[in-house]
Amino acid sequence: MKKEEELQVLEVANSVNTSLTRQTDIQNQMLEQAETWIKSGLLPTSIKTPEMAVVIALKGKELNLQTMASFEMIDVIMGKPALKPKGMASLCFKGGVRTKTIKDFEVFEGLDGKKDAETVIRFYRDGIEEDVSYKYSDAQSLGLTSKDNWKKQPGVMMYWR
């Protein structure tokens, strides 16, 4: 290898090393902050370790959420960080999407004679309108209605679904 090439290789290696060191320092700082957040008792109870808090904060950062908003908008579902419906709505609103509730848990009789309920939300953006509907029978077929929140507040769950 020529002297110039060797210097370039060393320069790249030093740059990578510096970058990795910086990443490690940032990660350690975040873990220290996360310990403080958890000790405060003000984070959601599902966040039990500093590592969980850091992962949620990083997931939020990818979605352009501030750290504390990330804890409010991201939930741990089946062991994975997932954006809550309110978080989705917030990001949509920031992106220019507007909504209007057309039907809110309106009960009707289906073709089979059984009672059902439907929620319909209309989405607007850039002159385009689209209606999205969700029926209680849809939630039943997915096994959702046996869950506690669905029993206690089916209308709210349908709206956010």
Residues 40-70: tens digit of each pLDDT: 999 988 888 999 999 999 999 999 999 999 9
d(CA 160, CA 141): 17
pLDDT at position 10 over 80: no
- Torsional class of 110: left (φ above 0), alpha (ψ -120 to 50), beta (otherwise): beta
Residues 67-111: tens digit of each pLDDT: 999 999 999 888 889 999 889 998 999 999 999 999 999 999 988
Nearby residues of 147 by Cβ (< 8 Å), 6 or more positions away? none
Supply the pLDDT for residue 57: 92
pLDDT grade for 126, boundaries at 50, 70 and 90 = very high
pTM equals 0.66
